[in-house]
Amino acid sequence: MSDPLRLGIAGLGTVGAGVVKIVRQKSLLLEARTGRGIAISAVSARNREKDRGVPLTDYGWEDDPVTLATRDDVDVFVELVGGSDGPAKAAVEAALKAGKDVVTANKALLAHHGQALAELAEENGCVLRFEAAVAGGIPVIKALTEGLAANDITRVMGVMNGTCNYILTRMESGGLSYAEAFAEADGLGFLEADPELDVGGIDAGHKLSLLSAIAYGTQVSFDAVELEGIGRVSIDDIRQASDMGYKIKLLGVCRMTGRGLEQSMSPCLVPASSPLGQLEGGTNMVVIEGDQVGQIVMRGAGAGEGPTASAVMGDVVDIARGTRVTTFGAPASKLVKATPAKAATPAPYYLRMNLADKPGALAKVASALGEAGVSIHRMRQYDHVDNAAPVLIVTHKTTRAALDAALDAIPATGVVQGEPVALRIEQV
């Protein structure tokens, strides 16, 4: 029996407390599965006095996570502080420099500083693992980095923000407006302190950028993710999509093309009968497509104490067993800077706009599309209400560039009120 693996845990919110509980309650199970004990040396959080539902008196206490990260009695620094900079970053850097392995659930940190941290880990012979940062309890980082490592990855897709999926699902099931569903999610405590992290697609975009890096051996480039939130999706869009056999999801998609790496996190239409289309409520789903394996779908809870702590401890178990895999599945020094490619892959698009009650209005829109090279697959115009008529268009496959050219030309027609909604139809 080896010496126990000693953890220093920084951040004692829901997930941190969950990790402490697992270490306390499952010591025999963990020892049976790893061949060594797993112990907690010390912890750190902002408020020492707060009751977290789990006894902490057995462990050392550090007010400063950086001090915790470099303690001699810490083998693995578990970072659950959160935030892309500040104490989380300082502590992770300090841990790696001190030769400690790091396990983190911090998607923002890795989305912004993943490359530098992976290099730092490599220089110091440390592992930096982050299963809990993407899709909660679903072991998707492991599947992509390890299980599917013999594949050229052709596409990764994911519904990875449970709050957005909850809002979209409730809009459909309850006939709620976006504002109503947003308020409901807020009342249930589902939203981040800054809700834009959720509904703006930022949180999910962070996660996508990490999957891209692993899938394509590229340096994490969150800034290159095309982000679009769900705030402009209306109940009408959801109903129209449903009529056509689709669901609207905040969908992350990444793929390597001849023109570069596409990464987008945006509301998309997906077939209602597909696993992604059938995903309801706060559950997450990641779809990985490889040239050998075909399509692998993974589904599970994307947040919450148990699922996230399960993922953190999965990484800890790996380290206890001596598993040492590079941060993004290849040496950090070999990860290449990807050329970002704005949605280059042609796809059909769903468009909704409000047409003024003027003669020839529809023709003007149709010709603006045609002149940009966007051809129309289906079009429906509805009755005028308050001098405006909703028009729905499904295009044939087109590039985003052609579509944007058409959208840019539409204001000049003078017949469209407000800004059109344009959602990609992702073929899955």
Residue 14 labelled as part of a binding site: yes
Contact 402, 369 (CB under 8 A): no
- Look up residue 256 and give its amino acid: M
CB atoms within 10 A of CB 146: 14
Residue 107 labelled as part of a binding site: yes
| DSSP calls for 110-167 | HHHHHHHHHHHHHHTT--EE-GGGSSTTS-HHHIIIIITTTSPEEEEEEE--HHHHHH
Closest of 372, 383, 382 to residue 413, by C-alpha: 372
Interface characters, 138-177, with its own copies (x: CB under 8 A):
xx--xx--xxxxxxx-------------------------
420 vs 422: CA distance, rounded Å: 6
Interface characters, 250-279, with its own copies (x: CB under 8 A):
-------------------------x--x-
Which of 65, 139 has the CB closer to its own copies? Answer: 139
Determine the Cα angle at 279 with ends 305 and 327, to 5°: 55
- Is 100 known to be catalytic? no
Q: Please give the span between the terminal C-alpha atoms of the chain, in angstroms, as a whole number.
A: 48
CB of 335 to its own copies, least distance (A): 9
3 state SS of 294: strand
394 vs 369: CA distance, rounded Å: 11
Residue 192 labelled as part of a binding site: yes
CB of 125 to its own copies, least distance (A): 13
Name 260's bridge partners: 257
Which of 135, 181 has the CB closer to its own copies? Answer: 135
Across the chain, which distance is largest between two alpha carbons, in Å? 84
For 66, what's the count of Cα atoms within 13 Å in the CB-facing half-sphere?
A: 8
Which of 1, 193 has the CB closer to its own copies? Answer: 1
Interface characters, 98-137, with its own copies (x: CB under 8 A):
---------------------------------x-----x
**In this chain, which of 8, 11, 16, 18 binds its own copies, going by CB under 8 A?**
18
Q: Considering only residues 35 through 54, tell me which ones interact with its own copies, judged by CB under 8 A.
A: 35
**347: DSSP letter:** B
Q: Considering only residues 297 through 316, tell me which ones interact with its own copies, judged by CB under 8 A.
A: 297-301, 304, 306-307, 309-311, 313-314, 316
Q: Where are the alpha helices (DSSP H) in 217-272?
A: 235-243
Task: Please report whether residue 293 would count as binding its own copies according to CB under 8 A.
Answer: yes
Residue 23 labelled as part of a binding site: no
Which of 29, 179 has the CB closer to its own copies? Answer: 29
3 state SS of 423: strand
CB of 152 to its own copies, least distance (A): 7
Catalytic residue of the set 100, 207, 247, 364: 207
309 vs 353: CA distance, rounded Å: 44
**In this chain, which of 22, 250, 347, 403 binds its own copies, going by CB under 8 A?**
22
Size, binding site for its own copies by CB under 8 A: 58
- Active-site amino acid positions: 207
List, as residue ranges, the binding site for L-homoserine: 192
Question: Which residues sit at the interface with its own copies, rule CB under 8 A?
Answer: 18, 22, 26, 29-30, 32-35, 131, 137-139, 142-143, 146-152, 217, 275, 278, 290-301, 304, 306-307, 309-311, 313-314, 316-318, 321-326, 329-331, 334
